[in-house]
Amino acid sequence: MIRKLIRKVLELPSGMGKRRAKPRVFPLPQHGIRRDQLSHAALKVTTRLQEAGYAAFVVGGAVRDLMLNVEPKDFDVATNATPEQVHHLFRRSRIIGRRFRIVHVMVGPETIEVTTFRGGSVDDTNETGRIMADNSFGSQEEDAHRRDFTVNALFYDPSDETVIDYHHGVKDLNAKKLVMIGQPARRYQEDPVRMLRAVRLAAKLGFQIDEATRKPIRAHAHLLKKEPAARLFDEMLKLLMSGQAYACLKKLREEGLARGVFPLLDAVIDEQGDDPFLELSLASTDSRIRADKPVSVGFLLATLLWRQVERRWTQRIAAGEKSMPALLDAISDVETEQDNDFAIPRRFSVTMREIWTLQARFDSRTGARPYRFLEQPRFRAAYDFLALRSEAGEVDRELVSWWERFQRGDDAEREALIAEAKAGGATDPAKKRRRRRSPRRKGDAPAGGVE
Ligand code: ATP
Ligand code: MG
C-alpha cells in the first residue's frame, strides 16, 4: 500500500524537489557486483571524489550491464560535486557541454563521464512537451527520476559495494523488463529519442518492453521527425552497432518507428522485404560485433543503402549506359535524393561511396587493371562487399573466387588467371555491349557488371 503510494508520488510531474523516497539498498550478495569489476578509471574517479567528501556513484548502463554479466561499454559517474569541483580534483579533465555541463575525466586511456546530479522540474518544456532546458542540479533521488528506464537508474557505491535503487530497477532487471520511469507518454514527449532507446536496449539486453512503456510508442513516433538529424544518426548508429542490428530493425518496424520517421531507416526498411543481401550483411555485422571484431561504419552504411544504388545501376545499364558511368550516376541519384536527410557525416559517406564505386571495377580482369585495383587502399573493403553480394545471389560466385585467387596468387598464377578470364570472354567489350543492350528479363541476375 505504502509502496503504491510512493510510486504514485514519484510520478507526479512537479514539486519534485520536495519528494523524499527511501531507496532500496542492495548488498553485494543480492547484485553480485564487486568493486574490482569496475574499470580502473571508474574506481579511481569515484574513490577520489568520495575521499574529497563528495557523494559519487557509478550509474546507468554500466551498473545494469554488470548485473547482467555483460561487459559495460563505458562507465558513467554521478556525483553531488559541481563540474568545477570535479574539474578541480582531476588534473586531466575538462568541462564540456553548454546546456548541461559534464566533466570528462581522463585516466590512462579511459575517459569517464562525470555528471552532477540533475534535478529541478521538468516544466521547461515546449508546447509538445519536449524538454528544452535540463540544466539544474539536484539530489541523487531527483537524478534517478530524470533517467529513462528503471534498470538505467541504479547507482553503485564501490566503497561498500551496494546498489541503490529508487525505482524497482533491480526487480525489473531480474524480470528482464524495460520499464519507463514515470508516465511513459510524457517521457516520450519530453524526449522522443527514448522510444529508440527502448527498442535498442530491449534488443540488446533481450528484455521485454513493459506493456505500459511500449504502448504509447506508436502514437508518439511522429515526434522523432522533429529531432535533429545528427542526434538521430547517432542513435541509429548505436542501434546498428548494438550487435542486434537485425533484431532492432525488425522491432522498429513492429513498433511503428521505422517509416517516415527515421529517414535513413526508411530507405532500408522499405527495401527490407526479404532482401537476402540486407539480412546477410546485418547478420555478419552482428556476429562481428559480438565477437569483438572491428566494424567499419562506412561499410555498414554502404550495405544498408546498396539496394537503392544497385536498382538504379541496373536500370541505367538496361537503358544502355556503360557499367562505370551508370554506377556513378546511380550513386549520385541516391545521394541527391537522400541528401541532408541522412545526416551521414562525411567521414563515413566517403568510404561508403568508394566501396560502391569500386564495385564496377571487378569486371575488368585483363591487362594491368586487376593489378592496379589490388593496390587501391579500399580494395579489401570493396572485395568483402562483393563477396556479400555474391552470397546474396547477386553476383556470380566465380567472380569472387577469381578475385580471391588473384589476391593470393604469385605472378605466374595471376597471369594464368588473367588468361583464364580472357578465355572466358570476361572483358570482351563487344560482347559486353551486346549483352547489356538486350532487355533484361525479370529474374535475371542484376547487373553488377558480372560475367
Ligand atoms: P549503452 O549500453 O548504450 O551505453 P546506456 O543506458 O548506458 O546504454 P547511455 O547513452 O550511455 O546509455 O546513457 C547513460 C545513462 O544516461 C542511461 O543509463 C540513462 O540512465 C541516462 N540516459 C541516457 N539517455 C537518456 C534519455 N534520453 N533520457 C533519460 N535518461 C537518459
Ligand atoms: Mg552507457
User: How far is ligand 1, taken at its centre, from the CA of residue 216, in Å?
Assistant: 20
Under a CB-based contact definition with an 8 Å cutoff, are residues 38 and 105 in contact? no
Amino acid identity for residue 230 in this structure: A
- Higher-confidence residue of 294 and 156: namely 156
Name the 3-class secondary structure at 201: helix
**Beta-ladder partners of 111:** 106
Under a CB-based contact definition with an 8 Å cutoff, are residues 286 and 230 in contact? no
Under a CB-based contact definition with an 8 Å cutoff, are residues 449 and 395 in contact? no
Question: Would you call 74 a catalytic residue per the annotation?
Answer: yes
Q: Which of 115, 188, 119 is nearest to 149 (CA)?
A: 188
Shortest-distance ligand to the CA of residue 102:
1
Shortest-distance ligand to the CA of residue 115:
1
Under a CB-based contact definition with an 8 Å cutoff, are residues 79 and 55 in contact? yes
User: How far is ligand 1, taken at its centre, from the CA of residue 194, in Å?
Assistant: 9
**pLDDT (tens digit per residue) in 1-37:** 555 554 444 444 444 444 567 899 999 999 999 999 9
**pLDDT (tens digit per residue) in 172-230:** 999 999 999 999 999 999 999 999 999 999 998 999 999 999 999 999 998 988 888 88
- With the CA atoms of 180, 241, 267 and 272 taken in that order, what torsion angle do they form, in degrees rounded to the nearest 10? -90
Mean pLDDT of 438-442: 37
In whole angstroms, give the CA distance from residue 360 to residue 436. Answer: 14
Instruction: Give me the catalytic one of 74, 134, 266, 341.
Output: 74
What mean pLDDT is reported for the chain? 85
Amino acid identity for residue 247 in this structure: A
Taking the model in full, what pTM does it have? Answer: 0.80
> In this structure, which long-range contacts are made by residues 260-263, counting pairs with CB atoms below 8 Å and at least 24 apart in sequence?
260/222, 260/225, 261/221, 261/222, 261/224, 261/225, 262/196, 262/224, 262/232, 262/236, 263/229, 263/232, 263/338, 263/341, 263/342
Under a CB-based contact definition with an 8 Å cutoff, are residues 93 and 86 in contact? yes
Sign of the dihedral defined by the CA atoms of residues 71, 62, 245, 360, in that order = negative
pLDDT > 60? residue 436: no
